[in-house]
Amino acid sequence: MTVRTRFAPSPTGYLHVGGGRTALFNWLFARKHKGTFILRVEDTDAARNTEEARQAIFDGMNWLGLDWDEGPEKGGPHGPYYQSRRNEIYDAYFEKLLAADRLYKDGDAYRFRFDRKPITMHDLVCGEVTIDYRDESNTPDMVVKRSDGSYVFHFVNVVDDLEMEMTHVIRGEDHLMNTPKHLQLIEALGAQPPQYAHIPLILNPDGSKMSKRDVGAAVGDYPRQGFLSGAVVNFIALLGWSSKSDDEIFTLTELIDRFSLEAINRAPARFDYEKCKWVNQQHIAKISTEAFADLAKPFVEAENLPITENYAAVIAAVKEKVRLLTEVPAAIDFLVTDTATQDEEAVAKAKANPNAALLPALADQLANGTEWSAEKAKEAIGEVAAAHGAKAGQLMFPVRVALSGRAHGPDLGDIFAILGKEKCVARLRSFH
């Protein structure tokens, strides 16, 4: 059996991170089993569907690296891949249900007559779930065709899954109670159902349901916020899935290798934006300095900072200090311009430090030195401190703040090397 999975979003808004995770789990499962991943657009709600939303889905999927084998822009043997273009297929299945005497009119609508028996589904994540259809008050017969002639979600969803030969349906737990309805429809059509796996919901850190307005909800925001796509994929994979190890940082290839439905947790996942930033930082640490420089460049230019001749060295100095690409401009501004904003609290603290009085002496020693290097500059700090009865470590903080205007940042040796002798001397002398 060739595994076939699908992601079936509705183009009524941006791609939600929950949808992105559903797409990812389906994609990972298909890739793990060398199967086929299908993108199907559920666009029957003409009043709410927009071209912008449809494009946001495609853009989000492409940015995450979740390529589809069949679907819009790719084609395939089971098209069209837009529900709005599949009405003839739905009509044919509707006629099958009519012929099987499973439909009846209710006004101008048609209802599907449930078999009044318990329906048990075997979910690959949630286990065995039974819905008792003998109590008609709890499980009224389901409308499949509305009075305006349009078909309901449950019907077209089942038809599409059968027509597209889905072997596995991996979707959010909010669809769990719909599945027995779908099983009844599939049975009435004389078909074999796919296997179902309902994945846990994503909650906010406080346990509330994640809404469209919450931080981190929109996949389209992540590129603008300076995340790497591989890091976001890594992070959302951990929302409800465990590698069964202490490892948390994975490439896409490693995720494919490790992924399994058995390792999906039953409990809801908690979204942690700070954890997402940490994962991003780990991915930044793993890429080359050249790749990091290229990715950071648009963010640097957006803040009107110059791309200097020593840009590669500047970027290398902060690569392990930032979590997001959006943090790069503020991390390097003092290295590429003399007008960078200073941390007033750090400056005040450094000026109050008694060892700040040694900065002019350090500036003189650096100015008089014939050889310039970061190592020589660091040696000069030790020599000036010792000459005035202090330790080198006590002078480091005032020096750092004098050169950078902040308490933290790149290694002091990198700052010396990038700024050069003239700028270092000038900044040390002007800090008073």
Catalytic sites, residue numbers: 212
Q: Which region holds residue 407: left if phi is over 0, alpha if psi is between -120 and 50, else beta?
A: alpha
As a whole number of angstroms, the distance between CA 341 and CA 174 comes to 49
Alpha-carbon distance 342 to 408, whole Å?
Answer: 12
| Nearest 10 degrees: Cα torsion 100, 101, 107, 110 | -30
Residue 322's contacts (CB-CB under 8 Å, 6 or more residues apart) are: 281, 284, 328, 331
Give 367's Cβ-side CA count (13 Å radius): 13
Sequence-ordered list of residues with C-beta below 8 angstroms from that of 44, at least 6 positions apart, any chain: 83, 84, 150, 151, 153, 156
The Cα 23–Cα 26 span in angstroms is 5
Q: At CA 171, angle to CA 165 and CA 177, rounded to 5?
A: 100
What gap in Å lies between CA 155 and CA 380, rounded to an integer? 78
- For residue 139 the two structure tokens come to 């499980």
